[in-house]
Amino acid sequence: MSRPSSGPPSPSGRIENGNMGFFSLPFEKFIRDGEGQDLNAFTLLDTLETYFDARIDLISRDLAKRTDQLKMRTDKLKKRAESAFDDFRRGQMKTPTPEMLSENFDKEVQRLRVKASERLARISTAWQSAKVVRMREKISFFYGVNLLLFTALLFGCAPEYLHISYTVQLFYMIPYRFWAYKRQNWHYFLFDLCYYVNVLNIIYLWIAPGSSALFLACYCLSHGSLASAIITWRNSLVFHDHDKVTSMFIHFYPPLVFTVIRHFYPGAEQRFPALNDLPTMHATKALAISSVLYFVWQALYWKLILIDRRKKIESGQRTTSLTFLLNHQRGAIGKILAKVKPERRELYFMFGQFIYAVLTEVPCIFLLYDSAFSSAAYLIIIFSVSVWNGAGFYIEVFGRKFERELEALRKELAEANSALASQRTSPTLDPTTDVEDLSTPPSPVLGGKANFGKFEDSTDTVPNPSGVGAVHTEEKKNQ
C-alpha cells in the first residue's frame, strides 16, 4: 500500500511515466487507465484523412461539372449533325413532299417577319433619335431665333448700334468655329476669303473709319463675294445647327451692316468720315481697290496653305475649299474642276474665284450703293434663299429619309414574296406523282396583289403599302 505524499501537489502538473515522459496538461485527457496508445500517430492520421477527403471532394465536383459541360456540347453537336443530315437528305430528294414545302414556307415567312420587325425597329429608333434635340442644339436654336429677332428690332429702333452687335457676336463666333473646326481638321477653311473680309470690316469699323479706300473694298467684297456665297454654297438658315447659324452670320451680317451705314445710319458721316469723300462710287476705283486687297489675300493663301502645307493637304490630313469641291462633286464647280488636269486645278480655281469676285461686285457698284430700296431688296432676296435652303434641309433630310427607308423596306418585302412564290409554284415533281396530292390551301403570299394586303395584315410588324402615303402625311402633320 502506497503511502500518500505528505507534500503539496507538483505545481508543474507533471505525470511520471517511463514510456511517455513528461507531458503538459492539455494532453492528460488522452490518457485512459494506463493504455499506451500512440496519440501522436492518431492525430496525424486524422488530419491527413480530413485534408485529403476535402480535396477529393473538390476534384470530384469539378470533374462532374466538366462532364456536364461536355455532355451539353455533345448534345448540341449531335443536334447540328442531325439537322445538317436532314437538310442534306432533303436536298438529295428529287420530289419535295407537301410537308417539306409547307415547312420551308413557314420558315421563310417566319424569317421574313423577324427581318421586317428588326428593320422597322431600326427605322423607328433612328426616327425617334432624329426628333430628340440635344441640349446643345436647343441652345443653338434659342440663340439663332433670338439673334434674328434682336437684329430686326435693332435695325428698326437703333440702327447706329448694329455694327456693335456685329463686332460682339463676331468675336464669339470666330473663336468658337476655330475650336470646332480644329477638332475635325477643318481649320484651313478659316483662311478663306469670307473670314479675311470680316477681319477687314473690323479694321475699318474700329481702327480706320476715315479710310475711303478700305470702305470701298469692304463694301464691295461684303456685297459681292460674301453675300452671293449664300447662293453659291447653299447656306441654310437652320436654327438648331450652330455651324449653319455661324455661316449665315459670317456671310449675311457684313452686307447688312454696310447697307445700314450707307443708307440707314443717322449721322453716318460723323461716325464714319470716309463717307464724306464718297457721295458716289466710281466703278474703276472701287474695282481696282477691292481687287488689290483680293490679290493680297490670294497671295497669302497660296503661300501659307497651298505651298507650305501642301503635304498635309495631299495626304488628306487637312481639308480646303478646293479638296472639298473635288470630293463632293455635286455642283457644277466640282464637276468642272474634276475634268481639269491635277497640275492646273489650283491655278484655274484661283482664277475662277477672282472672276467670280469681280462679277458679284458689279451690282453693288452700279445699283446698290445709290439706292436704299435696291439694297433692301437685294438683302431680302439673299435672306429668302437661305430660308428656302433651310426649309429644304428640314423637309428633305428628315422627311425624305424616313420615306426612303419605308420604300426600301416595301421593295425588300416584294422581292422576298416573289422569291417565295417562284419556289412554291414550281417544284420538281416526279412524273408519277399526282398533282392533286400536292395541293395545299392557297397562301396569302402566292395570291397575287389581291391577297398582298391580307398577308401584311396578318403580320403586325409589316406596314400596309397602301398606308405608306398616310404614314408620310401624318409625319408631315407632326412636323
Q: Residue 72: how many CB atoms within 10 A of its CB?
A: 10
Q: What distance in Å separates the CA atoms of residue 112 and residue 461, rounded to the nearest whole number?
A: 10
Structural contact between residues 269 and 276, judged by C-beta atoms closer than 8 angstroms: yes
Q: For residue 289, what pLDDT is reported?
A: 96
Alpha-carbon span 250 to 166, nearest angstrom: 10
The pLDDT value given to residue 119:
75
**Cα radius of gyration (the chain):** 44
- What pLDDT score was predicted for residue 240? 85
Domain boundaries of the chain, sorted by first residue = 134-277+285-364, 371-428+439-479
H runs (alpha helix) in 32-161: 39-92, 98-131, 135-157
* Nearest residue to 298 (alpha-carbon basis) of 363, 230, 221: 221
Amino acid identity of residue 39, one-letter, is L
Identify the CA nearest to 322 among candidates 185, 194, 188: 188
| Other CB atoms within 10 A of residue 3 CB | 5
Residue 2 confidence (pLDDT): 43
So what's the pLDDT on residue 49? Answer: 66
Residues of the chain with pLDDT under 70: 1-49, 51-52, 85, 87-97, 100-101, 123-133, 329-330, 423-479
- CA 205 to CA 217: how far, in whole Å? 13
Per the CB < 8 A criterion, the answer to whether 108 and 420 are in contact is yes
Q: Helices (H), strands (E): how many in the chain? A: 18, 0
- The CA distances from residue 174 to 137, 138, 227, in Å, are 18, 20, 18
DSSP secondary structure, 238-256, as one string: -TT-HHHHHHHHHHHHHHH
Element (H or E) spanning 428, and its range? none
Nearest to residue 410, comparing CAs of 128, 130, 120, 104? 120
Instruction: Tell me what pLDDT residue 324 has.
Output: 84
